[in-house]
Structure 1
Amino acid sequence: MTGSHVVAYCHNPYVDTDRVRLHIECTRWWDIDTDSAPVDAGPALTVRLTGRCWKEVGSAWISHQKVR
Structure 2
Amino acid sequence: CAVKVTGSEVTAHCHNPHSRTDRVRLHVECARWWDVDSDGAPVDAAPARGVELTGRCWKEVGSAWVSHRPG
TM-score greater than 0.5 by the shorter chain: yes
Structure 1 residues 6-27: Cα deviation after superposition (integer angstroms, max 9, x where no partner): 0000000000000000000000
Aligned partner letter, 1:23: H
What root-mean-square deviation, in Å, do the aligned CA atoms of Structure 1 and Structure 2 show?
0.3
Percent of aligned positions that are identical: 70
Equivalent residue number for residue 27 of structure 2: 23
Count matched residues. 67
**Correspondence list, 1:1-68, <5 A:** 1-67=5-71
TM superposition score normalised by structure 2: 0.93
**Deviating runs (4+, > 4 A) in structure 1?**
none
Q: Which runs of 5+ in 1 are unaligned?
A: none
Aligned partner letter, 2:28: I
SS of 1:25's partner is strand
TM superposition score normalised by structure 1: 0.97
Whole-angstrom distance in 1 between the partners of 2:40 and 2:48: 21
Whole-angstrom distance in 2 between the partners of 1:33 and 1:45: 28
